[in-house]
Each structure stands twice: as C-alpha cells, then as structure tokens.
C-alpha cells in the first residue's frame, strides 16, 4: 500500500442500530474499494469485520473493527461499530478518533436505540454526520417516513442528497440531486447506469434539489448571497456548501444505499472522499493542558491509542490515531504519562483480522502496531525529544450492571483474574475488582448482554467454567447517639496470663464538632477511613490507669471491629471514641490483652448507641421516549427511588432520581423490557443514607441467620 498523505485520508465511523446493516455495508465498501475481491456474509459467517469467535457465533458485532477502502485516490479508514447499548464504550472510542460518522439507518426500523446512542456521542464530540438509509429493498421500507422520524428525532438540518425511485422489492434506482441523474443498478450490484431523470420524476427531483440547494446555501454567508442573487448554486458552489455544512454540523446529508446488493455504495465512497473533511480540516485535537495539536507531518509526533485488542496467536494489538507528525518502522517513542520508552517495531494498515505492513504513517491516519510493553488504551505516545502533552483521554461510561463471579474450580481463581485483566485491556467498560469488603470478585459492565458475552468467552475460549451470582451490597454501619461500656479481658492458663480492662464512650462524628466536656481529652487522633468517613480516637486517661504504650493496641482492636461492623459485618464509620479509664496488671497486661478489651468494649458500646445501617445511594439519569415516561417512573418508585427532577434533553424525556444500589440489580434488563430497548441510563455514586427500619430489620435477621449457618 502506498503512503497516503493527510489530505488524502478520511476517517469514518459506521454507527447506528444493531440491525441497520453496518457490517454488510462494510463488506460492500471493501469490495468497491478493492480491499477484498469477494464479499462475505453474516449468514456464511465469513465477514471481514465480524471475525471474532463470539461475533461469528452470535452473528452480531460486539467490538469495533478497523478497516480501510481505497477509492478515487483516497484512503478511507472505516470503524465498524457495534449497535447494542451494551457496547457503548466502542461507540465513544470510535467517535473520539473518527472525523465523520456515517449513521446507517434501517428503513424498516427507522430510529433505533443504537441510532440515538450514536447521535448522542456524535453530538458530544461535534462529529459531522452523514445519514445512509439502508434496507430500501424490503417491501415494508418507507423512505419518506424514515426521513420524518429522523427530522423529529434529530432536528431539521437533514439535507436530502439522494432519494429512492422504487423503494421496496426490486429497489435498484436512486436519483442523485447533486448530479441530477438517475443511478440504475444491475441486479448483481456494482456500478450503475447513469441516466437522465425520467419525465415523471423531473418535477419532484427539481423541487427536492431546490430544497437541497437552499440547505447548502444556508451553511455559508457568501453562498447565501449568491443564492439570493442567482436563485441557485453552481455544482462547485454546491460542493463548497456541502463541505462547509458537513464540517460545521450545519447540515447532515442523506444518501440511499442497499448494502446487501452494493446499491449506492460506490457513490457513498465517492461522496465521502469528495465531501467528508480531511483530518487537517477538522478542529485540532486538544491535550489535557489545552494545547492544540497541529495535524501536520512537520509537527512532533503525537499518537493516541484508542483501542487495544488481544488477538489469538498474535498477542496485543494497539490501534492508534496519529494526530501529528509521522512514524516509520522502528521509531522510538515515549509514553507521555509514565515517561517509559516504547519502540514501534512494525506499522500495519488493518482490515479486520488482516494486517498489511506499511513503511510509514502520517498525521491524520489510523493504524496499528504490536508488542508495546506498557501503553494501554488512552495512552499518548510522542518522540523522546518532544516534551509532549497527553491527548484528552476517552471518558468511558461508568459501569451500570454488576455481578459477583467465581470460578467453579477454585484452582482456576488466579487464571480467571488474569483473564479478566486482559479482557479489561480490550474493553475499558468491562471492569473486574476484588472487593475485600464484600469478599467477592465483582464484574461490572454496561448490561446483562455485555457480561453474558464475557462469560461466554471465558467459558468457551478460555475453558474456565464460572458462576455469576448477585453481588453483596457495601453497606456501612454507624451510630446515632452516645453510649458507654467497659470490658475486662482476663485469661489465666499457667505462666503469664492476659489482663486488660478498658472503659470507653462513643458518639457520632460530625464535621466541625467539639469534643465532650465530660472527659478531658489528653490526646486526639483523627483517622480518615479508606472506605469513607472518619474515626476519632481520644485518649482521656488520667492517673496512669492505662499505660500510654497500650493505646495503639486499643486502637487496633477498635479498628478490627470497624472493619467488620457489629450489625452486619459491614464497615463502620463516623464515630468518636473516648477511652477514659481502665485497669492494668503489672505482670499480665500486654498488647493482645488491651486489643481484645478495646475491641469488645467498642462492640458493646456500639450496640447501645442507636446503631444504624447506611446504604449506598446512586444518582441515576434515565433518558427515554416521552410515551414511556410513566412506566419508567412507576418502576423507579417501586425501587425506593426519590425523584429529583424531570427535564427534556433533545427529543428525550429525562428523569433524575436517587436510587439505593440494592434496588438497581438487573435494572438494565428491566428498563430495556419496559421501553423496548429505547431508553438509556447512567448511574454515579452519590452518598450513604440510613436504610428504612423495615430494611434494617431484614438485614439484621439475614446476618444473624448467616452467622448461625457458619457456626
């Protein structure tokens, strides 16, 4: 492959719903672009982009694939992106590095949840959008109704560049309003006959072209003046309006395709090459410090790794966008974050699992390399002489579906942990952490489908049987009033014995509080707890009743009980302890004695201090169609949610609520069922709050039963 220059490169992401036909369209684009000489099909399980075992098995994309097509002297990098909500991490990573989104819309299903998700992230990144209406060959397809849905959902800036003449069974003809020609495709697909517009269509085509020209003129003030002067635009002026409007998101062109039969695909490639912005025509990428990266080969190297893939028999593949500079084989680079050195040994142009070595890659291009030592997704690489800055990283969505996972065979535990770490490298939205508090390995992701696919891969590819089960909830324990206690630990079994007696008072901690005047505080230690909240240890010993050297042991005993609270074994927090008296023995007192005395005194005081269980509450935002708002609201209220507000966001209704984590189990599945997959939600930890009395009673009973079973 030749080395393409920045002006000759186009970076696109194919986005849209799960059944919009992106993968089939990709095959057609590769065929038209000469990358492949024979199309694969999903049914035959031999497409270029869906090459992973799980994708072949499910006949759905679960990860984005990088591909390319060469057309009319342009290299078009293509990111084929999954359409399911569960793989939204692939959407945000792909749109971060693409210069244009091609939104593939199913003319049968119209606006799907995947379309809405892609639009949201495209809006976030200010990505130019081209709409490609697909599946026009089906008998129930309706182009006009699809356009109406798109305008309702995404606003009135759609500009129809093509429309189908005979949508439905036998679809083979498109009127192109830029060329003002009829494109008629043979049954076998491929290149069309370019014909004059039939008499019966000239009136409609003329009206639609006039509307398109007005759209194009509105994208540029100079063009608008020419339009008012002449009543129309020349072909060159239309091209200028298209490029300007597309780049600035002032308009969103609409084209027609039939990916299955290659209808309109070559014209789509031509349109992208002529009108989609080159990398140096887009706003400059920014670094964390706000610096702009000049998309030029003469600028210092700034390569951003946006995706990592673990390939069988090949290892770790790093996909990167080169924002500035140029890279050749065996280039030495530096990880900006860690300052560690890397060597880019080989550079590849990639199409699916296939890799073609290239000698050089220039600013604006997307490529891949292998065997980097320690440069995961979101790493910026630069040359050793350049004191580079980190490219603004991809912000992946927070996990919203959690399960506890364990290997069915305990001997596989370590292997499972290593596999989950590798899977996280390839999918940043799949997060595995061992919770010391819950004593569970927690696997979190974007939905039930997301985690079930991870389970399938672990069991079928890695051959490790695993079990999913509900995760425990990280409750907290605290107190609501003060209480006193004393405890004597005494043990005599021949030889040196054990003796320690501790008197203490505890009370709730509040920020900025003053210590009680009942006991004079001789020494105070404020301990921020790693699980949140504080413990304050006040020594009020007078007269030497307890030697100062035993105070750390008492604190250690208290901390042991803070780590395993008296009510449910959860972490305790926000407590002030006053150790005000006690007794020692000149021979038998030692650290273990006072540790046990302190722990048990704390446990008794805690139970008498109005103990309270706290639960984690999350801020939850749900976006849904207006007609589903009542059903979503009812479901949330059934989950003990407090509705904080309602608003409109674009063409969605938004509910903001605070919901206990305990009530969010399987919410992704429930919400999908309620809204037919048309709702999206996010959740973020807010605070700990007291559980209702009935919930506390149930939790205490469950813990007592668990303790009885373990005894």
555 and 634 share a domain?
no
> Is 38 a domain residue?
yes
Mean pLDDT, the chain, integer: 92
List the single range of 133-137, 200-204, 381-385, 433-437 with lowest mean pLDDT: 381-385
Q: Which two tokens stand for residue 334?
A: 């530096």
> Residue 711 pLDDT > 70, yes or no?
no
Helix (H) or strand (E) holding 206: helix 199-217
Residue that finishes a domain, picked among 558, 581, 610: 610
Assigned domain for 704 exists: no
**Overall average pLDDT of the 479-495 stretch:** 89
DSSP annotation of 558: H
Domain shared by 578 and 498, yes or no: yes
Could you tell me the pLDDT band of residue 705, with boundaries at 50, 70 and 90? Answer: confident
Residue scoring higher pLDDT (492 or 398) = 398
For residues 170 and 243, state if they share a domain.
yes
Number of structural domains the chain divides into: 5
User: Is there a single domain that holds both residue 356 and residue 483?
Assistant: no
Whether residue 460 lies inside any domain: the answer is yes
Domain extent, residue 674, equals 613-694
> At residue 534, does pLDDT exceed 90?
yes
Residue 23 placed within a domain: yes
Write down which residue in 414, 439, 472 finishes a domain.
472
CA distances in angstroms from 565 to 340, 498, 508, 694, listed in the order given: 44, 25, 15, 19
Q: With bands split at pLDDT 50, 70 and 90, how would you rate the model's confidence at 146?
A: very high
Mean pLDDT to the nearest integer, 268-294: 94
Residue 223 has pLDDT above 60, yes or no: yes
Q: State the CATH number of the domain containing residue 197.
A: 3.40.50.300
pLDDT for the residue numbered 259: 87
Q: Which CATH number characterizes residue 344's domain?
A: 2.40.30.10
Q: Does residue 202 belong to any structural domain of this protein?
A: yes
Examine the pLDDT at 141 and tell me if it is beyond 80: yes
> Does residue 217 share a domain with residue 331?
no
The last residue of a domain, from among 247, 281, 315? 281
Query: Do both 445 and 558 map to the same domain?
Result: no
Question: pLDDT: is 309 or 384 the higher one?
Answer: 309
Is 307 found in the same domain as 250?
no
Domain shared by 104 and 229, yes or no: yes
As a whole-number percent, the residues of the chain with pLDDT over 70 amount to 99
Mean pLDDT, range 581-608, rounded to an integer = 94
Any domain includes 464: yes
Please state the pTM of the whole predicted model. Answer: 0.86
Q: What is the mean pLDDT of residues 61-90?
A: 94
652 & 570 share domain: no
- Average pLDDT estimate for 579-595: 93
Q: What CATH number does the domain containing 559 carry?
A: 3.30.230.10
pLDDT digits over 650-692, tens only?
A: 677 899 999 999 999 889 889 989 988 778 888 899 999 999 9
Residues in CB range of 335: below 8 A, 6 or more apart? 341, 342, 374, 375, 379, 380, 381
The arithmetic mean of pLDDT across residues 596-617, rounded, is 96
Pick from 99, 94, 97: which is nearest to 74 by CA? 99
* Within a domain: 568: yes
Instruction: Note whether residue 606 is domain-resident.
Output: yes
Statement to judge: residues 604 and 630 lie in one domain: no
When pLDDT is averaged across residues 231-246 and rounded to a whole number, the result is 87
The confidence band for 613, taking pLDDT boundaries of 50, 70 and 90, is very high
Q: For residue 74, is pLDDT > 70? A: yes
pLDDT score, position 710: 62
Supply the DSSP string of 22-37, one letter for each residue: HHHHHHHHHHHTTS-S
Looking at the fold, whether 592 and 620 belong to one and the same domain comes out as: no
Which CATH number characterizes residue 443's domain? 3.30.70.870
Whether residues 70 and 170 fall in one domain:
yes
User: Would the pLDDT of 387 be above 70?
Assistant: no
Strands 181-184 and 173-176: antiparallel
Angstrom distance (rounded) from CA 347 to CA 354: 13
Supply the pLDDT for residue 620. Answer: 95
> Could you please report the per-residue DSSP string of 234-271?
-HHHHHHHHHHHHHTTS-EEEEE-BGGGTBTHHHHHHH
């Amino acid at each position: 492959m030749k080395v393409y220059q920045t002006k000759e490169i186009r970076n696109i992401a194919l986005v849209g719903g799960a059944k919009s036909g992106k993968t089939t369209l990709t095959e057609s684009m590769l065929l038209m672009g000469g990358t492949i000489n024979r199309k694969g099909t999903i049914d035959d399980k031999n497409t270029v982009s869906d090459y992973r075992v799980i994708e072949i098995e499910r006949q759905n994309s679960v990860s984005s694939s990088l591909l390319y097509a060469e057309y009319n002297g342009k290299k078009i990098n293509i990111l084929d992106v999954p359409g399911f909500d569960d793989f939204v991490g692939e959407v945000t990573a792909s749109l971060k590095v693409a210069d244009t989104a091609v939104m593939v819309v199913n003319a049968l299903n119209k606006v799907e949840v995947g379309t809405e998700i892609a639009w949201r992230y495209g809006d976030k990144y200010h990505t130019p959008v081209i709409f490609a209406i697909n599946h026009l060959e089906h008998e129930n397809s309706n182009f006009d109704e699809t356009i109406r849905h798109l305008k309702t959902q995404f606003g009135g800036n759609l500009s129809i560049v093509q429309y189908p003449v005979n949508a439905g069974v036998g679809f083979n003809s498109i009127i192109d309003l830029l060329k003002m020609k009829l494109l008629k495709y043979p049954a076998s697909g491929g290149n069309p006959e370019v014909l004059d517009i039939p008499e019966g269509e000239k009136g409609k085509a003329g009206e639609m072209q006039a509307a398109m020209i007005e759209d194009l003129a509105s994208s540029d003030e100079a063009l608008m003046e020419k339009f008012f002067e002449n009543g129309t635009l020349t072909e060159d002026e239309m091209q200028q309006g298209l490029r300007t409007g597309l780049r600035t998101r002032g308009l969103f062109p609409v084209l027609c395709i039939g990916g299955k039969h290659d209808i309109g695909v070559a014209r789509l490639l031509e349109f992208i090459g002529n009108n989609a912005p080159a990398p140096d025509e887009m706003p400059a990428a920014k670094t964390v410090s706000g610096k702009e990266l000049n998309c030029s080969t003469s600028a210092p190297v700034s390569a951003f790794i946006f995706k990592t893939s673990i390939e069988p028999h090949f290892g770790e593949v790093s996909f990167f966008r080169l924002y500035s500079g140029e890279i050749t084989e065996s280039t030495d680079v530096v990880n900006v974050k860690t300052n560690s050195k890397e060597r880019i040994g080989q550079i590849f142009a990639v199409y699916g699992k296939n890799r073609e070595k290239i000698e050089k890659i220039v600013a604006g291009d997307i490529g891949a390399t292998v065997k980097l030592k320690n440069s995961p997704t979101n790493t910026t690489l630069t040359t050793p002489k350049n004191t580079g800055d980190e490219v603004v990283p991809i912000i992946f969505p927070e996990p919203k579906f959690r399960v506890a996972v364990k290997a069915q065979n305990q001997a596989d535990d370590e292997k499972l942990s290593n596999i989950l770490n590798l899977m996280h490298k390839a999918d940043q939205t799949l997060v595995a952490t061992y919770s010391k508090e819950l004593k569970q390995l927690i696997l979190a992701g974007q939905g039930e489908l997301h985690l079930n696919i991870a389970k399938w891969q672990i069991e079928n590819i890695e051959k490790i049987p695993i079990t999913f089960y509900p995760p425990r909830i990280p409750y907290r324990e605290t107190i609501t009033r003060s209480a006193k206690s004393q405890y004597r630990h005494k043990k005599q079994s021949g030889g040196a014995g054990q003796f320690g007696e501790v008197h203490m008072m505890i009370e709730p901690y509040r920020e900025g509080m003053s210590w009680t005047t009942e006991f004079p505080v001789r020494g105070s230690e404020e301990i921020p707890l790693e699980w949140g909240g504080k413990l304050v240890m006040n020594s009020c010993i007078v007269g030497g009743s307890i030697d100062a050297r035993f105070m750390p042991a008492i604190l250690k005993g208290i901390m042991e009980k803070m780590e395993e609270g008296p009510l449910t074994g959860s972490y305790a927090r926000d407590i002030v302890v006053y150790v005000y008296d006690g007794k020692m023995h000149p021979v038998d007192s030692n650290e273990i004695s006072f540790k046990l005395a302190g722990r048990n005194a704390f446990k008794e005081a805690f139970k008498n201090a109005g103990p309270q269980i706290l639960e984690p509450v999350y801020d939850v935002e749900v976006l849904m169609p207006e007609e589903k708002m009542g059903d979503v609201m009812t479901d949330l209220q059934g989950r003990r949610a407090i509705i904080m507000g309602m608003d409109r966001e674009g063409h969605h209704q938004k509910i903001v609520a605070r919901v206990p984590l305990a009530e969010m189990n399987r919410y992704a599945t429930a919400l999908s069922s309620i809204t037919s997959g048309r709702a999206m939600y996010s959740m973020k930890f807010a605070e700990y709050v007291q559980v209702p009395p009935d919930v506390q009673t149930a939790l205490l009973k469950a813990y007592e039963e668990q303790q009885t079973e373990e005894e």
